[in-house]
Structure formats: C-alpha cells, structure tokens
C-alpha cells in the first residue's frame, strides 16, 4: 500500500518496546497493577502496558513535511501503520517475556530486582507464558492501531475523546481525594467510586467520560469566544480579573475543609514550595540570574527561625540549649528571618556579581553546597545541632489555630504567606524595579548604559528572592517542629528550580501551577512516591520538548523562545518595514 513507511514503524515500535521493558524493569507496571482505575479490570499497570505502543504509533503518524508541504497521513495508513508499530512494540514485550521464562525469571531477578514472578504473572494475566505472549502481541496491535487512528482522525473527534480518556485517568488517580471531598459536602461517592476496588465504578466511569466529552465539545464550540470575551472584559475593567482571582482564592480557602487532614498536609508542603518557587522566580525568572544553590535560603530560614523561637539541640544525651538562643514568637521571628535572609542574599550575591550564565550557576551551586554542609558540621554543632539537628521549634499558635499539629491550620498560615509573596512579586514586577530586572536580563551591558545600576539591582534580586525563600524555610521548621540536615540538600534547589521552569520562568501563576503539579500530585498519589525522581525527570523532559515556555508562560519569555524564528526572517521584516515606511508617507 502506498504511504507506508515500514522502516519508521519498526524504529518507533522498537523504541516503544524498549520503553515498555524499562517501565517493567523499574517495577512501575507491576506496582501500579494494584491501583484500580475503573472496576478491577482497568488498572494503572495495564494502562501503562498499553500506553507505549499507542504513543509510539501516535508519534510515528505525525504529519510530515514533504517537499515543503505538511502531509497528514491518511486514515487507512494510520490504522495499518499504527497496528504495525504496535505489533513491533508488542513483539518486543512478548519476546522479552519468552526469553525471561526460558532464561529463568529468578536469574533475571538477580540483576533486575523488579523482574519477579509476580511481574510474569501480571504480564500473562495468570495464564501460560505462550498465551501471555500472544496477549501482549494483540495488546500491542490494538493499542497501536488506536494510536494511529487517533492521530489521523479529525481533531474535532480526537480532542473530545482524548479529554474523556484523560478525565477517566485523572478521576481514577484522584480516588483518595474526590470521595473524601464528596462526603464532606454531603454526597455519597459510592456510585462513582467503588468502596471495594477503590477505583471508579463502570457506571461512574461512563458518567465521567460523557461529561468530559460534552465539556470538551462545548469548549471547542464556544470556549474560544468565551475566553476572548473574558479577556476583552478584563482589559476594559480590571475588576473582572480581580473577581476571577477572588473566586480562585475562595476555592483555595475552602479546599482543606473539603479534603481533610491528609490532603491538607500535602497542600501545606505545596505552600512551602510555592514560597521557594516565588522567591527563586525573582532571581531566575525576573532578573535572569541562574541560582542553583537556592537551598541555602531554605536552610537559613529554617534554622534561623528555630534559633529565634527557642528550639533545642538534639544530642546523644538528650536535649541541650544552643549556644545562641532567643525566645520570640514565630510572628515576630519570621520577619527577622526574612530580613536576615535578605542580608545573606546580598552576601551570596556580592562575590558572583561579575559572573554570568553557566559560571554563575556553578558558583551558586557551590555556595548552596557550602550551606548544606555547614548544617551537618561539627563547627556549628553548638548552635544548630550538627547531624542530629534541632527540635522543639515553637508551636506557632494564634488563638484556636494550631499550625504545628493541625495540617489544615498550617495550610492557612502557608496560604497567607504565599498570598503576601505573590502580592510583593506582582507589585515589584510591574514597577520600575521589575522593568530594570527585565532590561538587565535581556541585555546587561545595554541596561547599564541606559542608567540602570546593575550591581544594585542584581543584589536586590538576590535579597528579595532570599527573603521570600527563607520564609518558606521558616514555615517548614514550624510545620515539622524539628530539623535535621537531611532536609537541606541540593534536591531542594533542584525541585524549586523545576517548579519555576515547569510553570514558566517569570510567571506567577506558573509558580502556583508548577508547585501543585510537582509537589501536590506526587504527594497525593503515594504509589508514585518511589518513582518521584523518575516522574520529575520525565515530566521536565516532556515539558522542555513539548512546551518550553512552561505550563502558564510569561508573555515576554514566550517571545524570547521564538527568537530563532524571528531572526531568520529579520531580513523579510526589515523589507516589510521599509515598504511600510514609504507607503505611510505617500499620502503626505
């Protein structure tokens, strides 16, 4: 048949197969086999099994440029090619299964811990090996064909179906959150979530699917117009934008009441990382200074807060008073912490003023490491407890609110500081200071020549970023009540940076979304905890490839990423501009 590119199908299929085997050997497939999404038939493990062939087929069937034109593969080629791709992927999985059986699964297991008899059992659906291999083949063919069809089908049909399927997965994954919330507002969740399998019931799944499809169709038809209307309205009257904000705030305010203590605890963590993200966003997003040692401020905030509020040292012989201790209320201490952290920001910023880009990143990385090593050092042991850490950070209490033992109350404390940090960031970005940072980020030398004191504004960025990040650290200390150096490692810097990048550098809503996705989701889905790093890595790679401007991009950053395209038609633009100039003058 014409239009078949067998070679690329085989290649894509092989890649899909390798990914599938990798997921199995990492233990994801089997582990998630216990997580029921719908009934007890559709488990996340089975979805993961069917996903590689479908994705491989979907990718290989993308429109290609042929002789300068975009060619969309036909439906029939999509089906057949997708099935072929899936066949290869399924084939790889089947061969791997047969080989593992022939070689002896226990011998494989000596190297790959996750290759257990339970995995074989899962892959064969409890039948013989050969049946299992045949099942894997047919799963590959079917989901590959579906993937191919999905790509070659009309977007008007594809989008609603994708929306429906995604909604099923999201609802299935949130099985611990949604039922609690439903009970809280007086609904019985039993029709939607089965109390036995914990996943969606089939009826519930049908409802979710239909609603998601309908919503998607509605959005396709009216959504664009609605959004344009809203945007126009908010341009005319800023109050519209403000009411949207108020609605979101109201949702944020009732969230912990609906979701209970467990979810609130996770949301509390999210708040801490929102603060870290907002602080780092000033340094990296606004001022363009890549700081890889941000954990320094987190640690500084946590330990300073502990010292100011009268925490004690953990020692082998019990608690001991630190060499330096104050007994302030948290509400006074937190401002002192922020102020001191701003000073630390200037101290860290001063030696790196002349550095740019890669060099700055490496030096800040080193400075961050110095701070995390200091937390374990014997030298500072009399003050901050060294490897044993500290305990007894004051209970931040005000009236009936108890921020340490009640996660819902802590959530509100975090929310208050996040709102404050958001407000400060927003006001700064829209001011003369924000413009100076922006100009500096775009071209430091020119900014200097235009009268911006780059030294001062770099230090200011470090100070502001440090102050906000240290408040995150102070909250962390108050929330836990005790500190150990294990919490202050480079991973904090990486996570904070990932939050900022995922959301979109320089974008305030981006930081919020980024923290929700990167901290909130893994916290809610405890099955993922083990694979947190794998999922972080995968998510970041996917974001950088598919949407480098971030989930909720900042307008200017979006422009920057398109710079390459622009410089290529700079000539054409200059021509158009020149023509424009002449044309504009003709009437005169």
Partner 1 sequence: MTRLLELQVVTKHFGGLYALGGLDLHVDEGEIVSVIGPNGAGKSTMFNVITGLYEPDEGDVRFRDSSVVGLRPNQITRLGIARTFQTVHLFPNMTILENAMVGQHCRTKTGVFGAVVHTPRARREEAQIREKAREALDFFGSRLAGYRQDQPAFALSYANRRRLEMARAMATEPTILLLDEPTAGMNPRETLELRDLIVRMRDERGLTVLLIEHDMRVVKGVSDRVVALDYGRKIAEGSYEEVANNEQVIEAYLGTKAVG
User: Which residues would be at the binding site for partner 1 (CB under 8 A)?
Assistant: 423-424, 427-428, 431-436, 438-439, 442-443, 445-455, 460, 464, 556-557, 559-560, 563, 566, 573-574, 576-578, 580-582, 584-585
What is the smallest separation between the CB atom of 226 and partner 1, expressed in angstroms? 24
- Residue whose CB is less far from partner 1, 460 or 496: 460
Task: Retrieve residue 37's tokens.
Answer: 């999404």
Quick one: 393 or 459, whose CB is closer to partner 1? 459
d(CA 328, CA 307): 9
Per the DSSP assignment, residues forming a β-bridge with 319 are 314
**What is the closest distance, in whole angstroms, from the C-beta atom of residue 525 to partner 1 in the complex?**
37
Supply φ then ψ for residue 41, to 5 degrees.
Answer: -90, -45
User: Phi and psi of 63, rounded to 5°?
Assistant: -60, 140
Instruction: Using alpha carbons only, give the angle 553, 275, 555 rounded to the nearest 5 degrees.
Output: 15
Q: Which is nearer to partner 1, 96 or 342 (CB)?
A: 342
Minimum CB distance to partner 1, residue 235 (Å): 11
Nearer to partner 1, 480 or 552 (CB): 552
In angstroms, what is the minimal distance from the CB of 450 to partner 1? 6
In the complex, least distance from residue 540 CB atom to partner 1, rounded to whole angstroms:
24
For 577, the token pair is 């501009």
Q: Residue 560 CB, nearest distance to partner 1 (Å)?
A: 5
Report, in Å, the least distance between residue 474 CB and partner 1. Answer: 20
Our measurement of the distance from residue 289's CA atom to the centroid of its chain's CA atoms, rounded to an integer in Å, reads 21
Cα 212 to Cα 168, 172, 513: the distances in Å are 9, 14, 21
Q: State which residue, 216 or 554, has the beta carbon closest to partner 1.
A: 554
Q: Which two tokens stand for residue 93?
A: 């999985």
Question: Nearer Cβ to partner 1, position 88 or 464?
Answer: 464
**Beta carbon nearer to partner 1, 315 or 568:** 568
Q: Rounded distance, CA 212 to CA 169, Å? A: 12
Residue 449's contacts (CB-CB under 8 Å, 6 or more residues apart) are none
CA distance 295 to 470: 9
Q: If we measure between CA atoms, which residue out of 10, 375, 37, 336 comes closest to residue 173?
A: 37
* Gap between the Cα atoms of 490 and 370, Å rounded: 10
Backbone angles phi, psi at 525, to 5 degrees: -100, 90
Taking the complex as a whole, how short is the minimal distance between the CB of residue 568 and partner 1, in angstroms? 13
Comparing CB distances to partner 1, the nearer of 424 and 540 is: 424
Cβ nearer to partner 1, comparing 152 with 470: 470
Residue with Cβ nearer partner 1 (17 or 434): 434
Tell me which DSSP letter residue 99 carries: H
Report which of 235, 1, 31 is spatially closest to residue 119, judged by C-alpha positions: 31
Q: What are phi and psi of 193, to 5 degrees?
A: -115, 125
Closest CA to 465 of 432, 490, 416, 500: 500
Q: How far is the CB of 586 from partner 1 (least distance, A)?
A: 10
For the four alpha carbons of 449, 450, 455 and 458, in that order, the dihedral sign comes to negative
For the CB of residue 425, give the shortest distance to partner 1 in the complex, in Å: 9
Tokens 């060099």 map to which residue?
A: 359
């Amino acid at each position: 048949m014409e239009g078949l590119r067998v070679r690329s199908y085989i290649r894509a299929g092989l890649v899909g197969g390798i990914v599938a085997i990798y997921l199995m050997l990492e233990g994801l497939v089997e582990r998630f086999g216990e997580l029921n999404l719908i009934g007890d038939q559709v488990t996340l493990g089975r979805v993961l099994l069917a996903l590689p062939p479908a994705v491989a087929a979907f990718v290989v069937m993308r429109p290609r440029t042929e002789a300068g034109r975009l060619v969309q593969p036909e439906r029939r080629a999509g089906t057949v090619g997708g099935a072929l791709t899936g066949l290869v992927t399924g084939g790889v999985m089947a061969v791997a299964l047969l080989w593992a059986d022939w070689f002896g699964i226990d011998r494989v297991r000596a190297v790959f811990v996750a290759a257990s008899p339970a995995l074989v059992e899962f892959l064969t659906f409890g039948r013989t090996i050969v049946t299992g291999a045949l099942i894997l083949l047919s799963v590959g063919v079917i989901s590959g064909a579906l993937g191919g069809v999905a790509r070659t089908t009309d977007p008007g049909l594809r989008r609603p179906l994708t929306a429906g399927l995604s909604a099923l997965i999201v609802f299935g994954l949130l099985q611990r959150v949604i039922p609690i919330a439903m009970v809280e507002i007086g609904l019985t969740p039993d029709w939607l979530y089965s109390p036995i399998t914990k996943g969606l019931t089939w009826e519930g799944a049908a409802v979710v699917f239909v609603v998601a499809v309908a919503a998607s169709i509605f959005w396709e038809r009216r959504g664009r117009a609605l959004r344009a209307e809203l945007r126009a309205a908010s341009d005319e009257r800023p109050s519209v934008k403000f009411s949207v904000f108020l609605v979101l705030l109201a949702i944020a305010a009732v969230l912990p009441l609906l979701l209970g203590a467990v979810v609130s605890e996770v949301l509390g963590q999210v708040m801490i990382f929102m603060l870290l993200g907002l602080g780092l966003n000033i340094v990296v997003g606004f001022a363009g200074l890549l700081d890889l040692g941000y954990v320094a401020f987190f640690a500084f905030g946590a330990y300073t807060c502990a010292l100011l509020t009268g925490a004690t040292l953990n020692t082998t012989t019990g608690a001991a008073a630190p060499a330096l201790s104050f007994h302030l209320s948290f509400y006074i201490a937190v401002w002192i912490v922020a102020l001191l952290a701003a000073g630390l920001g200037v101290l860290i910023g001063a030696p790196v003023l002349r550095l740019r880009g890669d060099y700055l990143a490496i030096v800040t990385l080193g400075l961050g490491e110095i701070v995390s090593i200091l937390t374990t050092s014997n030298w500072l042991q009399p003050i901050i407890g060294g490897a044993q850490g500290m305990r007894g950070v004051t209970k931040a209490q005000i009236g009936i609110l108890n921020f340490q033992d009640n996660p819902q109350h802590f959530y509100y404390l975090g929310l208050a500081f996040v709102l404050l940090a958001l407000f400060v960031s927003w006001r700064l970005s829209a001011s003369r200071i924000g413009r100076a940072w922006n100009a500096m980020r775009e071209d430091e030398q020119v900014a200097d020549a235009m009268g911006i004191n780059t030294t001062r504004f770099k230090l200011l960025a470090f100070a502001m970023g440090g102050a906000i990040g240290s408040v995150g650290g102070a909250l962390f200390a108050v929330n836990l009540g005790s500190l150990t150096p294990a919490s202050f490692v480079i991973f904090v810097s990486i996570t904070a940076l990932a939050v900022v990048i995922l959301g979109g550098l320089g974008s305030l809503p981006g930081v919020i979304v980024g923290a929700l996705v990167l901290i909130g989701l893994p916290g809610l889905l405890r099955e993922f905890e083990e694979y947190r790093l794998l999922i972080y890595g995968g998510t970041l790679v996917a974001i950088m490839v598919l949407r480098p401007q971030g989930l909720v991009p900042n307008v200017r950053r979006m422009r920057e990423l398109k710079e390459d395209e622009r410089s290529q038609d700079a000539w054409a633009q200059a021509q158009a501009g020149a023509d424009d100039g002449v044309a504009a003058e003709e009437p005169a």
